[in-house]
Chains A and B, each alone.
Chain A
């Protein structure tokens, strides 16, 4: 046992000290944090630009105040202005664009034009479209001369949001969120996929390195081949977990740091300071806007609390336990197969013929896991979460949606049996393979190695 720890120590320390490991460990969180921060920064930057849009109609004034102002966009209704007059000089007048509504709009849907120098954001277009549609709908209804139309409309309009509630076997009711379950399923199965693939392949490369540099025979004259193999597998798993932990902590730290310094400052300054600067004339509108901003943030924090609460409702104990279980067993299963392959070949190019049958179940597992998020109860997900080669990836994707106990137990049992069988077989192939040089190995050859006596 002490010798296996010497091997684990070497595998761990030599890899952790490598430049590529240090660079990836630092670069990873920076990239991930950038992925999180940059889009929100971009969104903030877009929002800080204040847009004034001139609204003109050719004949009637049907749509006066039909389009409400939204965050950072103000609609200014201009009377008695012809499109030709403003078309070429709206920028000098301080407008972002001109919205021209033809009187035919009630009959001809494409009688609205938004003229601008820049490509207008899609959200703005959607907003204009929705407002005009609603206004046209209202005006058309008005022609029916229904009494108390406004009250009727108010009472008719109901917002619906679907709350998903799951009842478990004991009859307990739980509020769940499909969105959170999906996100969890995605993250968990993808993590296992990455960990198994990246570090399993590294095990293989390590074995090939030892074989081609001829260092292996010296080592196995001191330790048993299975000790060397398991030492490498465990050492690499620890490297993977270390990198992973550092990534999580660093990403979290970077994101929080950036958020608290840059983003919060920008939201406040952009929302509060820029408004009076640009809209000195319309102070009332600015006031309105300020209110909208605070309202939005209040809304979103309430929304967040709700998501947070449903997130807490997830069976975290079970999720963490099964994630660790499936990571450990899945990694051991595949890493030992990778080690056996590494032992059977003389260089990395020869691994191709053996890699394909190994990678297919992993990739298949990921595909089924993605499908599982759409339909957790499908029979495909059921079977693939029981078959041990795909179950680590598929089962962790199913767990956030709830899995019957017997299925989970059966899947875990099959997984344990299979990984023990595969580690045993891999150790036998490895033991013979690492001492075979200059011979092209076939599957039949590897099968023969399984039958050799100690």
Chain B
């Protein structure tokens, strides 16, 4: 079921087209990745969803009905350009943001205490923001984004500024939020986190949707019949009519070989050939990383003559 939908959204700034007939559909209780190079229009789309700016044309729906001004209470937003008042105390500031999102003071206090305890931030309550490190401030911002338990949470580059330990904590919190019923729209350049977290993605370039769908399906579709096989010890694999060796390298006393399947050979046929060559440790279909797909999509678009 769809929680949020944008239909044919177009936005122009002067003569620049920021978004061109863009549509996305975010399933409920999923993590949706919004990918694209810098200046592709991701932030513009996110700002339109947050009703910071309005679209020139197109429609937006939350839970099947048109997006209304009061829906800002149902949305939590952690912008890429984010900050806090430097001279204000952490606790007061978190309370201020919670009240701006419509929470009454006492309820906001109760929830803040819960989250500050959970993320081990209790000691920071009376500190000024300027005394915090960047990562600490990010954590405060994370809490203020999700405090009002929004149905749709939008994270724009949520992991920048965090150390690996905190990245893990935040990742787990995001997964936990989804479990509890939240839907997450997630914009990032960090492709490994997309593979790890996202259920669906849309890749935007020049304001247009270039690619969208489930992450595993996309990767399969872009796989192009490639496999990766690992043999114990040093193995020389002869090529035959069923496959072609793309590359072969030694790794920790093993041999890792990437091969491309030719004709319409099935995996069983290929495995039969491989078993003869040595002891197989693993055999996997080699899925392209989201990173590769990203680069290939964006580059093919930019080098196509229609775009010149």
A residues engaging B (CB < 8 A)?
3, 6-7, 10, 14, 209-210, 213-215, 217-223, 225, 431, 435, 437, 448, 452-454
Contact = CB atoms under 8 A, between A and B. Distances in A.
Contact of A452 (B13, B77, B83, B101): B13
Q: Taking each of B75, B99, B101, which has the highest tally of chain A beta carbons within 10 Å of its own beta carbon?
A: B99
- Is chain A's interface secondary structure helix, strand, loop, or mixed overall? helix
Given A6-B99, A452-B13, A220 B88 contact: no
Interface stretch (B52-60, B179-187, B202-210, B215-223): B52-60
B260 interface: no
A222 B72 contact: yes
A66 B234 CA distance: 132
A446 to B, nearest CB: 13
A6 B81 contact: no
Contacts of A209: 85
Interface string B63-94: 00000000010010111011111111000000
A453 B54 contact: yes
B116 interface: no
A222 B173 CA distance: 23
Contact of B77 (A221, A223, A437): A221
Contacts of B82: 214-215, 217-218
B96 A213 contact: no
Contacts of A215: 82-85
A223 B72 CA distance: 8
Nearest to A454: B54
A55 B15 CA distance: 93
B86 A10 contact: no
Contact of A218 (B54, B75, B97): B97
A214 B50 CA distance: 16
B79 A218 contact: yes
A453 B53 CA distance: 8
A222 B100 contact: yes
B200 interface: no
A205 to B, nearest CB: 12
Given A213-B85, A221-B50, A448-B14, 10 more contacts: A3-B102, A6-B100, A14-B87, A214-B81, A218-B77, A218-B82, A219-B97, A219-B100, A221-B77, A435-B81
B79 A217 contact: yes
Contacts of B54: 453-454
A217 B54 CA distance: 15
Contacts of B50: 221
Contacts of B79: 214, 217-218, 221
Interface of B: 13-14, 47, 50, 52-54, 56, 72, 75, 77-79, 81-88, 96-97, 99-102, 141, 144
A213 B85 CA distance: 7
Contacts of A213: 83-86
Given A218-B141, A221-B72, A222-B72, A435 B47 contact: yes
A435 B84 contact: no
Contacts of B77: 217-218, 221
B20 to A, nearest CB: 16
A222 B51 CA distance: 9
Contacts of A220: 52
Contacts of A453: 54, 56
A444 to B, nearest CB: 11
A128 to B, nearest CB: 63
The 8 nearest A-B residue pairs measured at CB? A214-B83, A222-B100, A213-B83, A221-B77, A217-B79, A221-B50, A454-B54, A215-B83
A173 to B, nearest CB: 59
16 contacts: A3-B100, A6-B96, A7-B100, A14-B87, A14-B88, A210-B85, A215-B82, A218-B79, A218-B97, A218-B141, A221-B75, A222-B100, A222-B102, A435-B47, A453-B56, A454-B54
A10 B83 CA distance: 17
A210 B75 CA distance: 22
Contacts of A14: 85, 87-88
B99 A437 contact: no
A223 B52 CA distance: 9
A448 B12 CA distance: 13
Contacts of A225: 52
A331 B96 CA distance: 26
A454 B56 CA distance: 8
A56 to B, nearest CB: 73
A220 B97 CA distance: 11
A222 B97 contact: yes
Contacts of B52: 217, 220-221, 225, 435
Contacts of B84: 213, 215
B60 to A, nearest CB: 14
A6 B105 CA distance: 11
Given A452-B13, A454-B53, A217 B81 contact: yes
Q: Taking each of B79, B87, B101, which has the highest tally of chain A beta carbons within 10 Å of its own beta carbon?
A: B79
A228 B54 CA distance: 18
A215 B85 CA distance: 7
Nearest to B13: A452
Nearest to A18: B87
A223 B85 contact: no
A143 B87 CA distance: 85
Nearest to B14: A448
Contacts of A431: 53
B249 to A, nearest CB: 44
A173 B50 CA distance: 65
Contacts of B53: 431, 454
Q: Taking each of A6, A213, A222, which has the highest tally of chain B beta carbons within 10 Å of its own beta carbon?
A: A222
A207 B283 CA distance: 59
Contacts of B72: 221-222
A225 B100 CA distance: 13
Contacts of A214: 79, 81-83
Contacts of B78: 218
Contacts of B97: 218-219, 222
Contacts of B141: 218
A222 B81 contact: no
A222 B74 CA distance: 10
A435 B80 CA distance: 12
